[in-house]
Amino acid sequence: MSDRSIPVMVNGAAGKMGREVIKAVAGAEDMRLIGAVDLNPDCHGQDVGEVLGLGALEVPVLDRLEAMLAFATQETEPVVMVDFTHPDSVYENVRSAIAYGISPVVGTTGLSVQQLQELAEFADKASTGCLVIPNFSIGMVLLQQAAIQASKYFDHVEIIELHHDQKADAPSGTAIKTAQLLGELGKSYNPPKVEETEKISGARGGLADENIRIHSVRLPGLIAHQEVLFGSPGELYTLRHDTSDRSCYMPGVLLAVRKVRELKTLVYGLEKIL
Ligand SMILES: NC(=O)c1ccc[n+]([C@@H]2O[C@H](COP(=O)([O-])OP(=O)(O)OC[C@H]3O[C@@H](n4cnc5c(N)ncnc54)[C@H](O)[C@@H]3O)[C@@H](O)[C@H]2O)c1
């Protein structure tokens, strides 16, 4: 392994996504796993490779991000932090990493528009690259591009996103991002046809700023799925993406790790670096 390999630390290392990232980074020839952080006390002090059944990687799981960030500043090559933690902590995690000059690749969803703006200003001031990617799957980028095409011909659209029942935020960052992409075209969607009454609050889903309704389903047995439904008189056009294994996100994660150190600001969305 060359000394110029990319030093990578993973925050949320013991989670469902963090585990996949550890495996992917450990298997990437141009990367070097230098740190693993997780709040889960069952793993503290253990070798993260042993925790994952990969054999020793000589990287212990730490419980404190600040300690890991301080340690990472001793690296001679610029360090990347991949974050797959929790919507409640991601903002502070990203701020801390940037404060230490470490480039975050953020998969954790749930950052508000205001938090994203603040982090973008913070990254600008620090001249540190940061990638916030609500969905690392290439198929989802293709779905969003197809939705943009379809929106030229359809005025009516709704989004359904379906996830496993451990997901903390709703709607998904991907569904919000899809609505934003459709909104950026400057079109007004879903002109009202009738006056509606909801007999159960929320029955018509959440209304995004773009006047697009988003419906969130949470069930065990699901992983991550999204439908974009376009309707016009006499036809329905449905775009659907299904995730069956979290490994589908890893090519996007590794690409982001390779790109983020070239940036000096915050960039939002995988499509911007493809
Ligand atoms: N961008 C994408 O493509 C993508 C794909 C899947 C999931 N996600 C998002 O990634 C996030 C994590 O998803 P998951 O399924 O891996 O969740 P998970 O609950 O399986 O894992 C989260 C891990 O983070 C740890 N953690 C929580 N707060 C922490 C903190 N402050 N510091 C350190 N560790 C902390 C937890 O102990 C846990 O091990 C969610 O926001 C989810 O929506 C994004």
pLDDT along the chain (274 residues), means of 10: 85 97 97 98 96 96 97 97 97 98 96 96 98 94 96 97 96 94 93 92 95 98 97 98 95 98 96 92
Ligand 1, closest atom to CA 37?
33
**200 Cα: distance to centroid of ligand 1 (angstroms):** 31
> Is 173 a known ligand-binding residue?
yes
Which residue in the list 86, 125, 163, 264 is annotated as catalytic?
163
177 is catalytic: no
Phi/psi at 224 (nearest 5 deg)? -150, 125
Q: How far apart are CA 59 and CA 64, in angstroms?
A: 14
Q: Is the CB of 180 under 6 A from ligand 1?
A: no
Write down the pLDDT at residue 193. 85
| CB 108 less than 6 A from any atom of ligand 1 | yes
pLDDT at position 3:
72
Helix (H) or strand (E) holding 245, with range, is none
Q: Dump the DSSP string for 159-199.
A: EEEEE-TT--SSS-HHHHHHHHHHHTTTPPP----S----S
What pLDDT, on the 0 to 100 scale, is given for residue 29?
97
Contact 238, 227 (CB under 8 A): yes
Beta bridge pairs of residue 37? 11, 62
Q: How many CB atoms lie within 10 A of CB 270?
A: 23
Which tokens belong to 253?
A: 């994660």
pLDDT of residue 192: 87
Among 39, 40, 85, 172, residue to substitute to test ligand 1 (most atoms within 8 Å of Cβ): 85
User: Is there a binding annotation on residue 193?
Assistant: no
| Ligand 1 near 35 CB (within 6 A) | no
Catalytic (active site) residue 156: no
- The torsion angles phi and psi of 235, rounded to 5 degrees, stand at -150, 150
| CB 131 near ligand 1, within 6 Å | no
**Is 31 flagged in the annotation as binding?**
no
- Residue 109 CB–ligand 1 contact under 6 Å: yes
Q: In degrees to the nearest 10, what's the CA dihedral of 39, 44, 47, 48?
A: -10
For residue 221, say whether it is annotated as part of any ligand binding site.
Answer: no
